[in-house]
Amino acid sequence: MNGLVNKVAILTGGASGIGKATAQLFAQESAVVVIADVNREQGQAVAQEIVSHGGKATFLLCDVTRMEDCLSVVDTTLEQHGRIDILFNNAGIIRRADVVETTEGEWERVMAVNVKSIFLMCKFVVPVMARQGGGAIINTSSGWGLRGGRKAAAYCASKGAVVNLTRAMAIDHGPQKIRVNCICPGDVDTPMLRHEAHQLNQDETSFLAEAAERPLGRYAQPEEIAQAVLYLASDAASYVTGAALVIDGGGSA
C-alpha cells in the first residue's frame, strides 16, 4: 500500500471499536484524522492518544443523525485542512429484537444512526470530493447486511440498506472518480458485541463462545477490520468500487 500520507480522513463513530482502531491505523499511515462522534470524552481521548504518538488528529462532536452536525463536521474539516480525501461512515447501533418486540422509536433510531447518517455525511462530502477530482468512501455494513439474523430485524434492515446504498452511490459517483465501498464484518470484539448479550439477557461468556463458532474459531479484533478499511481507502484499491467486502472469519461460508 502507498499509505495515506497527507490525506484527510473523516471517521464517524471513531471513539471506540472499529472506528477507534481505524483512526489509529490511518494516523500511523500518516493521514490527517478527524474523529466525529457523539461521545466527547472518548473521542477526545482517542484524538489525544494519536497526537501523543506523533500523529495528526482532531475530535469534532457530532450526532450523525442531525443534518446540522454533519454539515458542521464537513465545514470545519474544510476550514482546518482544506480538503477531504476519505470518509469512513462507521457510526452504528444495534437493537436485538424481532419486529414485534421492536418499538417504533427503536426502529427509527437504528435506521437513523445506521443509514440516515451515511446519507447526510455523503450529501455534504461528495460535492467536496467531486471538486477535488475524487476520493474514497467506506461504509460499515455487516454480514447481516447480506443475510438475515435472529432477533435483529431493524439492524438487518439497516445494514442491508447500507449495502445497496453503497452500490447506488458507486454507480452515481464513479464518473467523478469517487470510489464507494462497504465492509461487512462478522462479530468483532467491541463494546457493542458485549452489549448484544445483555440485550438478549444471555450470559456474556456463552454469547461470546457462540460468536467464535466459525471456521477460524474466533471473533475478530477491531484492528483486523481496520486493515480492510485501510485497503479500501488506499490506492491499492484504486479499481474497487461498489463492493461489499466480507470480513467474518468464514462465518458466512
CATH number of the domain encompassing residue 35: 3.40.50.720
| Domain assignment present for 202 | no
Inter-residue contact 171 to 242 (CB < 8 Å): yes
Containing structural domain, residue 33? 8-188+224-246
Rg (CA), the chain: 17
Give buried/exposed letters for 68-82 (b at 16+ CB in 10 A, else e).
ebbebbbebbeeebe
131: in domain:
yes
What's the CA gap between 209 and 65, in Å, rounded?
33
What's the pTM? 0.96
Distance CA 185, CA 177 (A): 26
pLDDT of amino acid 2 = 54
Cα(207)–Cα(200) distance, rounded to whole angstroms? 9
| Closest-CA residue to 72 (of 34, 100, 30) | 34
3-state secondary structure of 18: helix
Q: Let me know if 155 is a catalytic residue.
A: yes
In a domain, 41, yes or no: yes
The catalytic residue among 155, 219, 231, 239 is 155
| Domain total in the chain | 1
Is 196 within a domain? no
Determine the pLDDT at residue 98: 97
β-partners of residue 12 are 36
Show the low-confidence residues of the chain (pLDDT under 50).
1
Structural domain includes residue 242 = yes
* Residue 23 covered by a domain: yes
Q: Which three cell numbers stand for residue 33?
A: 484524522
Q: Which of helix, strand or coil describes residue 174?
A: helix
CA gap 84, 102 in Å, rounded: 37
In a domain, residue 251? The reply is no
195 domain residue, yes or no:
no
